[in-house]
């Protein structure tokens, strides 16, 4: 008898370990671990998503005549306890699982094997389009990596939006000039933002059980389990994808970077929570988008933008994670060590007065979701400019987001927002003053600060934090030609101006 152990973030319909298995000689094991669920203060919606999706997957496998052993949270302290109870009952000769998606679990397997005294084998993951070895070969010993090169390579490799000579469809690799429209363009066009479908399993009793369980066991975690909003089965994830393709893909490109108060999802796909646990595959998502383009239902600019996010960024951050671990998550190239501010948890009475941050925190507190510009250019920008401790920032993102996993957070936080990997992922820091946020959103309108004011009581803190950041890291950035201009601007300021900026930044961060 063989056990196939299916991990909670590997709920693929075509799980590679099952493809090889004989249902008569196999038990499929699922383990919910109390300790894993409480490792960080994970958002309640993330926990509901994982446990409910695991339970549904187990049910589907039972209906397909597999023998399933489900170790539920109420009775399972940790993975070792779950496995030991399983071994006692089923006595398998070996345990097969797919390569875990994160470093810590991968490292823990030999220890676990020793503890349970049953051989464990892994099969290669099928959750990504680039194998770990293939990416490592491409990345080699390079000091920094260009996402664009990886992306073009992927387009050619997969034959996506390229002609027979490997040239990009439409003549360009990138349609940014048609995408990424500002808030004033949004106001002018006034596009109708489609309503996101409700969770197809809203009335499902298994889901309701999990909601109750999470609310009870993880009561002090962010979010409210009862407001859960996502699909939890493969079938409804497919419908969720179809709905994006039909109603939001067309607007994806132009409004990809726009931020609108009260419209947290806009035209984004909201597919990452489902992709990251295997309810959808990256290839089917991009193929569905390309098909919509072929049928004339979505413009090339939107489709290319979406394809870039998935085969470009998603594969790139996963590749970096495996190429640079261990050690990557501990990098802190800018020496950031300020503790997290208390407003990041969105508790009433402790909110920040900076409206862009306050709105983004409220949205993630309530739903576990922000779109990429809120994560990067609002919250990430604040953490970068304020020098917030990298490990604390990483834990915060991992706790708050419904789609957060170590493999995806590491490069997005360490490399992209905090520039803590010395420019391995990004050629320059994603730092911005208020100008960018004011251009891309309507947040400033409802803010107690003024984006156009540079110093004094009413000044937007991003303005002086921005210059203070370049002042603090002068030596490092003066050698970076992409930001040398900013360094020069700082140097041109009088000593009195520089001192005033430093003082105001210090007072703000202390207060």
Residues 68, 311, 404, 505: which binds ligand FAD (CB under 6 A)?
A: 404
DSSP secondary structure code for residue 196 in this structure: P
Buried-state track 270-302, b at ≥16 Cβ within 10 A, e below 16? bbbbbbbbbbbbbeebbebbbebbeeeebbbbb
Query: Do residues 331 and 324 lie in contact, with contact meaning Cβ atoms separated by under 8 Å?
Result: no
d(CA 228, CA 206): 13
| Total Cβ atoms within 10 A of residue 175 | 20
State the residue for tokens 């109870």.
Answer: 85
In whole angstroms, the minimum distance from the beta carbon of 362 to ligand SF4 comes to: 13
Of these partners, ligand FAD, ligand SF4, none, which one is at the site of residue 179 (CB under 5 to 8 Å by kind)? Answer: none
Residues 236, 309, 360, 438: which binds ligand FAD (CB under 6 A)?
A: 309
d(CA 60, CA 56): 6
Instruction: Indicate whether 425 belongs to the interface with ligand FAD (CB under 6 A).
Output: no
Q: Which is nearer to ligand SF4, 405 or 443 (CB)?
A: 443
Instruction: Indicate whether 444 belongs to the interface with ligand SF4 (CB under 6 A).
Output: yes
Q: Pattern 423-442, binding to ligand SF4, x per CB under 6 A?
A: -----------x--xx----
Q: Which is nearer to ligand FAD, 5 or 424 (CB)?
A: 424
Residues 403, 414, 471, 477: which binds ligand FAD (CB under 6 A)?
A: 403
Q: Which is nearer to ligand SF4, 323 or 375 (CB)?
A: 375
Instruction: Indicate whether 380 belongs to the interface with ligand SF4 (CB under 6 A).
Output: no
Token duo for residue 115: 């503890």
d(CA 415, CA 426): 7
In whole angstroms, the minimum distance from the beta carbon of 409 to ligand FAD comes to: 5
In whole angstroms, the minimum distance from the beta carbon of 428 to ligand SF4 comes to: 20
Residues 70, 79, 255, 313: which binds ligand FAD (CB under 6 A)?
A: 313
d(CA 75, CA 81): 9
Instruction: Indicate whether 356 belongs to the interface with ligand SF4 (CB under 6 A).
Output: yes
Q: Which is nearer to ligand FAD, 3 or 399 (CB)?
A: 399
Instruction: Indicate whether 451 belongs to the interface with ligand SF4 (CB under 6 A).
Output: yes
Q: Which stretch binds ligand FAD (CB under 6 A): 106-114, 150-158, 267-275, 500-508?
A: 267-275
**Residue 289, phi-psi category: left (phi > 0), alpha (psi -120 to 50), beta (remainder):** alpha
Residues 234, 268, 324, 454: which binds ligand FAD (CB under 6 A)?
A: 268
Range 270-289, binding ligand FAD (CB under 6 A): 270-272, 275-276
Cβ neighbors of 273 (< 8 A, separation 6 or more) are 46, 49, 230, 368, 369, 402, 403
φ/ψ of residue 108, rounded to 5: -80, -15
Helical H segments across 258-380, by residue range: 272-275, 282-294, 300-307, 315-324, 355-367, 372-373
Which residues make up the interface to ligand SF4 (CB under 6 A)? 354-356, 434, 437-438, 443-444, 447, 449, 451, 460, 462
Which residues make up the interface to ligand FAD (CB under 6 A)? 268-272, 275-276, 306, 309-310, 313-314, 317, 371-372, 375-376, 380, 397, 401, 403-404, 408-409, 412-413, 416-417
């Amino acid at each position: 008898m063989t056990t196939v152990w299916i991990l909670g973030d590997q709920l693929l319909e075509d799980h590679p370990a099952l493809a090889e298995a004989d249902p008569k000689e196999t038990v499929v094991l699922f383990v919910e671990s109390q300790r894993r669920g409480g490792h960080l203060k994970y958002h309640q919606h993330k926990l509901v998503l994982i446990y409910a999706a695991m339970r549904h997957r187990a049910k589907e496998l039972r209906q397909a005549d597999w023998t399933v052993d489900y170790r539920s949270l109420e009775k399972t302290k940790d993975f070792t306890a779950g496995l030991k109870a399983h071994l006692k009952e089923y006595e398998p000769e070996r345990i097969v699982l797919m390569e875990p998606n994160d470093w810590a679990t991968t490292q823990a397997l030999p220890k676990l094997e020793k503890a349970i005294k049953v051989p464990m084998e892994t099969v290669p993951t099928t959750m990504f389009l680039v194998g770990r070895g293939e990416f490592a070969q491409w990345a080699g010993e390079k000091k920094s990596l260009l996402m664009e090169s990886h992306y073009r390579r992927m387009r050619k490799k997969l034959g996506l939006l390229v002609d027979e000579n490997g040239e990009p469809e439409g003549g360009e690799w990138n349609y940014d000039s048609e995408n990424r429209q500002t808030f004033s363009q949004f106001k002018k066009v006034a596009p109708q933002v489609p309503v996101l479908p409700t969770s197809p399993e809203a009335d499902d009793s298994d889901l309701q059980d999990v909601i109750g369980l999470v609310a009870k066991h993880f009561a002090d975690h962010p979010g409210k389990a009862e407001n859960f909003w996502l699909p939890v089965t493969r079938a409804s994830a497919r419908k969720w994808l179809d709905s994006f393709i039909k109603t939001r893909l067309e607007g994806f490109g132009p409004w990809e970077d726009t931020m609108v108060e009260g419209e947290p999802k806009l035209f984004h796909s909201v597919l990452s929570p489902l992709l990251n646990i295997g309810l959808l595959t990256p290839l089917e998502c991009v193929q569905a988008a390309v098909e919509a383009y072929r049928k004339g239902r979505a413009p090339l600019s939107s489709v290319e933008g979406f394809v870039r996010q998935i085969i470009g960024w998603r594969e790139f951050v996963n590749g970096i994670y495996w190429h640079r671990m261990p050690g990557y998550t501990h990098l802190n190239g800018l020496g950031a060590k300020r503790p997290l501010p208390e407003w990041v948890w969105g508790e009433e009475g402790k909110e920040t007065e900076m409206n862009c941050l306050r709105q983004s925190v409220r949205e993630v507190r309530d739903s576990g979701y922000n779109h990429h510009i809120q994560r990067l250019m609002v919250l990430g920008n604040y953490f970068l400019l304020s020098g917030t401790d990298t490990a604390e920032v990483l834990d915060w993102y991992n706790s708050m987001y419904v789609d957060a996993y170590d493999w995806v957070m590491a490069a997005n936080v360490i490399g992209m927002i905090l520039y803590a990997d010395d420019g391995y992922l990004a050629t320059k820091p994603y730092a911005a003053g208020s100008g960018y946020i004011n251009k891309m959103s309507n947040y400033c309108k409802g803010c107690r600060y003024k984006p156009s004011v540079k110093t004094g009581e009413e000044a937007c803190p991003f303005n002086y934090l921005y210059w203070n950041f370049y002042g603090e890291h002068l030596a490092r950035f003066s050698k970076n030609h992409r930001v040398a201009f900013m360094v020069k601007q700082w140097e041109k300021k009088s000593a009195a101006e520089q001192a005033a900026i430093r003082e105001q930044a210090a007072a703000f961060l202390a207060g």
